[in-house]
Structure 1
Amino acid sequence: MTAPATATATTTSGPGQPAGSLAVESTGLTKRFRRQVAVDGIDLAVPRGSVYGFLGPNGSGKTTTIRLLLGLIRPTAGSHSLLGQPMPQAAARVLPGVGALVEGPAFHPYLSGRANLLRLDAADRTAEPGTARRRVDAALDRVGLLAAAGKRYRAYSLGMRQRLALAAALLAPRELLILDEPTNGLDPQGTREVRALLTHLAAEGATILLSTHLLSEVEQICTHVGVMHLGRLVAQAPLAELRAGAVPRVRVETDRPEAAARVLRELGMSGVETATETATAPLGRLAPEKIVAELVRHDVPVRGFAVVAPDLEEMFVSLTGEGFDVSG
């Protein structure tokens, strides 16, 4: 297992940004549970209009951070704001504009999906009672549950329950959506539909903070990324910037990978790895043509040679030293 990288955070937004440029901002946000530090002094900066992928292994502090942001638990130290307003002081003003899905969905089991949403809507003092039925059905339709609106919640599958929770977050127009694993339990078709919905909501101007285990989701819809590890924010940047800063690797295809690896090491390249008929290493400052010339000079048969940028999984492992679920 690769050792975790030194914790560094790259940000393009944060303290000192123009007022209102951030939908989510925190300074030194910390949460301790007795002796355990679950969230350790993080400085989140989620630009308005972005789709922010919030990544991290299980137990890294993502869900605790989300609960802190929404005011469900109080921080031990630090401060944060949503939509430019301090929390929890401005919670009554801010939260009507925030839709959220946190951990597993929870609804009344003996009520239908529609009845559950109507009860939630009735508890919202900012909602218009006269439009409740229309808005509930519109939310159900957006997540593909309108046909099952009259079905009792206890009969819903895990995927249907997840869709209902997402519909609850969409009962009213939202400036900010904070979603914890919104595609959990969905089949591939449902996952694609939710991705398309989130892309559409972002195009309409909503800011989305998306906690996920699926790197494919991040690659397809996210504009910014934050990576948590052991309660700390170890990286934060626009996705394109994170990719641009990644070190490319050379990959040599040969039937003598050990000989190729030896040449790469003699050229001063570190982190050389071998596999069946391949040798790889970070490129560094060497010109690729020089590497090929040295391989040929040492009689290493080169069947293929490429300079490849690391994918998101490799960047994640370099930051945390841990693997990740890349399915989906």
Structure 2
Amino acid sequence: MTAVSESGAASESGAASESSQPAASQTAPGPGHPAGSWAVESTRLTKRFHRQVAVDSVDLAVPCGSIYGFLGPNGSGKTTTIRLLLGLIRPTAGTHRLLGQPMPAAAARVLPRVGALVDGPAFHPYLSGRANLLRLDAGDRAADPRTAHRRVDEALDRVGLLTAATKRYRAYSLGMRQRLALAATLLAPRELLILDEPTNGLDPQGTREVRALIKRLAAEGATVLLSTHLLSEVEQLCTHVGVMHLGRLVAQAPLAELRAGAVPRAHVDTDRPAAAAEVLRGLGLTDVRTHDAAATGVLGSVAPEKVVAELVHRGVAVRGFTVAAPELEELFVSLTGEGFDVSG
């Protein structure tokens, strides 16, 4: 495994015990993989730092072939969970598997098949980008030294850094450093990529390029666990999603299923929003809000046609009426009570 982290490469320590499949999983394996085929799975994975519970009984189930968006506000426990999965820190309780193998017992066999970017890039500042990757590659016992230069240049080219390959790392911008860390995960074919905020520090063009790269890697057969707090990342990339909040996994499902389960909201365009809002409340709609020329509310079990009929009956002019599922931002705020960054 290539794990680029401020704390160095992943260790092979941790809780060594075989786990069963997560009982509460709401996900399904990606296309072309048998049922129960999980790239990452955990059972009651827990990490305590003294009295603080950073990760609380997390049951992850990441299907093979998926792009799994690991979403949550900053400080929700995403990075700590990733560090547990890779063996960078020991769990307090619980078990987990990577690529179907118990960790850390099978770390020596599994980690060469895993590429990871954790906690931001860390390289030798006075070496060039190419020299840094050659040093990392030389430390991989499974890598063929005869093809090192070719593979390094291919990885640099995939992230758009080949023209800056001879520049010293200390002269790299934050975005270039993030690209180099991504290149380090691509020095060999990887079945599983675990990426913690891979677009951090990138400009819009770089962000689009990294997203396109992730899509290509998934199309080539890799499973991607993508930790992010950007809703745009999830919307544009992910097939599945898990939502963390205060150390707990509060939702886990295919993204389409999560959207489908959201309760729709009615939107009334009218010149009497306050009167419309009163009608909506009287019908039992919840979370009723008014705007300059509109009133909205969560329908629940109320039929849309009943809302329109009651508005007309009460003399509230209806200029327009729509029913729509909530935006992802509303959906995740309802799960966590906190806002997410929708930029990027």
Residues 20 and 83, structure 1, Cα contact 8 Å, conserved in 2: no
Deviations 1:58-116 (A, max 9, x none): 11000000000000000000000000111111111100000000011010000000000
Q: Please say if 1:235 is aligned against 2:251.
A: yes
Aligned: 1:149 with 2:165: yes
Aligned equivalent of 2:241, options 188, 206, 225: 225
Q: Which residue number corresponds to residue 187 of structure 2?
A: 171
State the distance in 2 between where 1:128 and 1:10 align: 39
Q: Which residue of 2 aligns with 1:58?
A: 74
Change (3 A) 1:82 1:121: same
Contact 1:98 1:176 in 2 (8 A): yes
Q: Counterparts of 1:35-114 in structure 2 under 5 Å?
A: 35-114=51-130
Query: What does 1:259-278 correspond to in 2, within 5 Å?
Result: 259-278=275-294
SS of corresponding position for 1:125: coil
Map of 1:302 onto structure 2: 318
Cα distance, 1:10 vs structure 2? 6.0
- Counterpart residue number, 1:313: 329
Q: What is the Cα deviation at residue 123 of structure 1?
A: 0.5
The one-letter code matched in structure 1 to 2:81 is T
Task: Please say if residues 79 and 118 of structure 2, whose CA atoms lie closer than 8 Å, have aligned partners that are also in contact.
Answer: yes
Is the Cα contact below 8 Å between 2:71 and 2:229 reproduced in 1?
Answer: yes
Alpha-carbon contact 2:37-2:64 (below 8 Å) kept: yes
Whole-Å Cα distance in 1 between the matches of residues 329 and 287 of structure 2? 17
**Are the equivalent residues in 2 in contact too, given 1:96–1:126 (CA < 8 A)?**
yes
The answer to whether 1:186 aligns with 2:199 is no
User: How far does residue 285 in structure 1 lie from its aligned partner after superposition?
Assistant: 2.2
Cα contact 1:159–1:187 (8 A) shared by 2: yes
1:11 is aligned to 2:26:
yes
Is 1:117 the equivalent of 2:133?
yes
What secondary structure sits across from 2:137 in the alignment? Answer: helix
Q: Is contact 2:286–2:299 with CA below 8 Å preserved after alignment?
A: no
Deviation, structure 1 residue 278: 1.6
Q: Secondary structure at the match of 2:221?
A: coil
Which deviates more, 270-279 or 207-216? 270-279
Q: Which amino acid aligns with 1:151?
A: K
After TM superposition, give the deviation of residue 19 of structure 1 in Å.
Answer: 7.9
Q: Deviation digits for residues 123-178 of structure 1, max 9, x if unmatched?
A: 11110000000000000000000000000000000000000000001110000000
* Cα offset, 1:292, TM superposition: 1.1
| Residue in 1 that maps onto 2:10 | none
Q: 2:119 and 2:269 mapped to 1: Cα distance? A: 45
Question: 2:174–2:201: 8 Å Cα contact kept in structure 1?
Answer: yes
> Given residue 114 of structure 1, which amino acid in structure 2 is its aligned partner?
R
8 A contact 2:25–2:61 mirrored in 1: no
Deviation of 1:275 (Å): 2.1
Identity of paired residues, percent? 82
Deviation at 1:307?
Answer: 0.3
| 8 Å contact from structure 1 (residues 222, 239) kept in 2 | yes
Give the superposition deviation at 1:18.
6.6
Structure 2: gaps spanning 5 or more residues: 1-23
In the alignment, which of 288, 296, 299 is matched to residue 280 of structure 1? 296
Q: Distance in 1 between matches of 2:66 and 2:172?
A: 32
| Residue pairs, 1:17-28, within 5 angstroms | 21-28=37-44
**1:261 positional shift:** 0.6
SS at match of 2:208: helix
- 8 Å CA contact 1:10–1:235 kept in 2: the answer is no
Residues in 2 aligned to 1:162 and 1:20: alpha-carbon distance in whole angstroms: 34
Give, in whole Å, the separation in 1 of the partners of 2:230 and 2:280. Answer: 34
Residue 11 of structure 1 aligns to which amino acid in structure 2? Answer: Q
Q: CA deviation at 1:274?
A: 1.6
Q: Is the Cα–Cα contact under 8 Å of residues 20 and 84 in structure 1 kept in the other structure?
A: no
> Is the 1:180–1:212 Cα contact (8 Å) retained in structure 2?
yes
Q: What is the TM-score when the length of structure 1 is the normalising length?
A: 0.94
Distance in 1 (CA, whole Å) between partners of 2:295 and 2:210 is 39
Q: For the residues of structure 1 that align with 2:44 and 2:129, how far apart are their CA atoms?
A: 39
Aligned to 2:12: none
Report the Cα distance in structure 2 between the residues aligned to 1:266 and 1:30, rounded to whole angstroms. 45
Please identify, of 49-58 and 291-300, the stretch whose mean Cα deviation from structure 2 is larger: 291-300
CA distance in 2, matches of 1:67, 1:278: 47
Amino acid corresponding to residue 109 of structure 1 in structure 2: P
Task: Note if contact 2:230-2:342 (Cα within 8 Å) is conserved in structure 1.
Answer: yes
**SS, match of residue 105 in structure 1:** coil
Name the SS of the counterpart of 1:272 in structure 2: strand
Deviation at 1:279, TM superposition (A): 1.0
Aligned to 1:291: 307
